[in-house]
Amino acid sequence: MKLGIVYHMPFWRAADGTLREVEGSFARYVDSLAPYFDQVVLAVPFMDTPRGDGTPLRSSNVRIAPLPFFDGPVHFYPRLPVMLPRLVRFVRSVDLVHCRVPTPAGVFAYAASRLLNRRSFLLVVGDLEALRPTLPYRGMKKVLWRAYTAFEERNLRWMTRGAMTFANGAALARKHSRPGREAIETRTTTIDMADVMSRPDTYAGGRVRLLTVSRIDPRKGLGVLPGVVAALDARGLDASIDIVGPVVGAPGEAVRRDIEAGARALGVSDRVHCAGAVPLDRLMPLYDEYNLFVLPTLPGEGIPRVLLEAMSAGLPIVTTRVAGIPSLIEHEQNGLLVDEPTPEAIAAAIERVIADDTLRRALIAGGYATARAHTLEALAERMMRDVSSGLGITVVRNPQSIANPQSIRNPRSIRNRPSAVRNV
């Protein structure tokens, strides 16, 4: 059986012949599904030139049905006359269509699957409607974004009425459930069992090293982080924070400038650092270098996959009580939740974790348990079991699986660990 997956993460072919994806989270997701199919075909933007190192696909049974490169809807829709024939050919070439949404190409691939009588299923990973208030657009850009969001929301309602739907977290599952067609709650993840560590504690005194892994854009709430470091100073805690992740467009550049300006104004610029994007295979060992993970994200998320990455590394987590996060993070069990991502609230939660050894170790242990229950292998198995029963088809893992990321990637214990994020 051939599975076709539609998404907007760009790929390219490296000099060594491997297919590589910019961030790596989607590549790992594809690798987790590949053992269940004879072939996986990706309808994704394809780049002629590399963008950084990227993360390689490990599975030998994956091929690309290339779409012209696009970076968001503003680039996709002007190319629609070229995109549509390619999407139709892509759907015609596969037996089962999987749309990971929201993504500009999703509704067109789904419509083609209906016309061509191909079975399909969806995975909803984010909420455009919820993030709309956090975007800094004004004037015509604001009008256009509202129109696009309304268009995508209508598309999603139509798709979820007719297709089997998985949703990333409880909030998205509730939003996209329909009478007689409940959305199945799941978790997006990038970790496998080899990524889950066993260190019982992450802090033994000295400077508190904080880590945030996130795209830099307005919906992530990263502008509060310099204030968090300053608030910890006022509480007598010496802390630094590294922000790892790509800058997303002009709004992201504005956020990065605001972070740097805020750090200078508060006198903490030597302890707040935007490190840029790091490929996933190099990112995972970096978690080991830190004492605590902070994510002050705003509404619009499903469940950020970086939370499971941090838990697999044994990092206690401080994050916000928004969207699907409370369906993964149980307050005081595997992380601490703050109701409002203000510098004072986040700093108070961090101080509590650092000061209370018993709580910190309990959060670490709870995180490990959560991570082990949400590996790529476990979630792919559950999803494919639901697809088999829900769509009336047989989808089983090949015992001689083509993709086995755990055997390919080296465990952290034998990786060369960098001394600091600034050296990656």
pLDDT of residue 422: 37
Residue (of 320, 79, 338) closest to 219 by Cα position? 320
Distance from C-alpha of 226 to C-alpha of 283, rounded to nearest angstrom: 22
Task: Give the pLDDT mean for 227-251.
Answer: 94
Q: How confident is the model at residue 117 (pLDDT cuts 50, 70, 90)?
A: very high
- Helix (H), strand (E) counts: the chain: 15, 16
Q: How confident is the model at residue 22 (pLDDT cuts 50, 70, 90)?
A: confident
Q: Is the pLDDT of residue 205 over 60?
A: yes
194 versus 315: which is more confidently predicted?
Answer: 315
Task: Give the pLDDT mean for 204-216.
Answer: 96
pLDDT of residue 302: 74
- Burial code (b: 16+ CB inside 10 Å, e: under 16) for 89-103 equals ebbeebebbbbbbbb
pLDDT of residue 200: 95
Chain position carrying tokens 């007689």: 180
Residue 107 is classified by DSSP as H
In the chain, the percentage of residues whose pLDDT exceeds 70 is 92
Distance from C-alpha of 245 to C-alpha of 264, rounded to nearest angstrom: 21
Q: Note whether 232 and 351 are within 8 A (CB).
A: yes
Query: What domains, with CATH codes, occur in the chain?
Result: 2-189+376-408 (3.40.50.2000), 193-372 (3.40.50.2000)
Strand partners, 372: none
Q: What secondary structure does DSSP assign to 337-374, as a single string?
A: EESS--HHHHHHHHHHHHH-HHHHHHHHHHHHHHHHHT
End-to-end CA distance of the chain: 40
Token pair of 370, please? 């959560």
Cα→Cα distances 392→93, 386, 388, Å: 20, 10, 6
Token pair of 364, please? 């670490």
Q: Note whether 216 and 200 are within 8 A (CB).
A: no
- Which H helix or E strand runs over 244? strand 239-244
Distance from C-alpha of 131 to C-alpha of 290, rounded to nearest angstrom: 29
Chain position carrying tokens 């709309």: 132
pLDDT of residue 134: 65
Mean residue pLDDT across the chain: 90
pLDDT of residue 416: 37
Angle between helices 225-234 and 249-265 (to 10 degrees): 20
Bin 116: left if φ > 0, else alpha if -120 < ψ < 50, else beta. alpha
Q: Which spans in 220-323 are helix H?
A: 225-234, 249-265, 280-286, 305-312
Residue (of 16, 327, 324, 66) closest to 175 by Cα position? 324
Q: How confident is the model at residue 182 (pLDDT cuts 50, 70, 90)?
A: very high
Distance from C-alpha of 316 to C-alpha of 294, rounded to nearest angstrom: 9
Task: Give the pLDDT mean for 127-137.
Answer: 74
Token pair of 345, please? 């609230």
Q: Is the pLDDT of residue 301 over 90?
A: no
The alpha-carbon radius of gyration of the chain (Å, integer) is 21
